[in-house]
Chain A
């Protein structure tokens, strides 16, 4: 059963704590992405990785960090430096064949920091 999974679905943390969101895919996709979505708004790109051991900052990378040690996994750490971490976080993966740009999304993790 191929797909992309995110865990947990809901996450609660106290202000000042780092938290890591999990993203795993078994689609054999090379590229993976993290987006942030705030209520009533679109998707904003945090980080992306087009190959193992390499990743690039997106539009709103400050206060976040990622790693890509395995093709299947792209965890996102929300650090205490992120000023407004409460949001819905979406992970996506994508095959990088020529002309194939469809991204497959996970179910999302809703992070609440108080």
Chain B
């Protein structure tokens, strides 16, 4: 989702439920996408990545889905736990100028209710 001013979009889920965090990316030439998790006061941590030649990739309790037609990326977290509470960022590599830069989305805050 897109942030509005200083307020991150927030997803609130019940512990044990599945979470789906969405991200719209900007460039149809992007060839790599990555999800990061950032806990308060810490640096982002890698969760999962996916290349543009795939539409789905699974990790431990997480799945990333890529829909290139509508330039949409989602992160699914199964059986959400309190430790999953954090801000989640998607990022894309545009891959047009031989640069390895990542372009970050504005983030979504996930709150897990006990």
4 further A-B contacts with Cβ under 8 Å, apart from A42-B106, A48-B101, are A41-B107, A42-B3, A43-B44, A101-B49
A45 touches B (CB below 8 Å): yes
Within 8 A of B (CB), among A51-68: 58
The 3 closest A-B pairs by CB, nearest first: A105-B43, A42-B106, A101-B93
Q: Inside 8 A of B68's CB, which chain A residues have their CB? A: none
A111 touches B (CB below 8 Å): no
Give chain A's interface residues, CB within 8 Å of chain B: 6, 31, 33, 35, 38-43, 45, 48, 50, 58, 88, 90, 92, 94, 96, 99, 101-108, 110
Q: What is the CB-to-nearest-CB distance from A81 to chain B, in angstroms, rounded to a whole number?
A: 24
Q: Inside 8 A of A108's CB, which chain B residues have their CB? A: 41-43
A103 to B41, CA, bound (A): 18
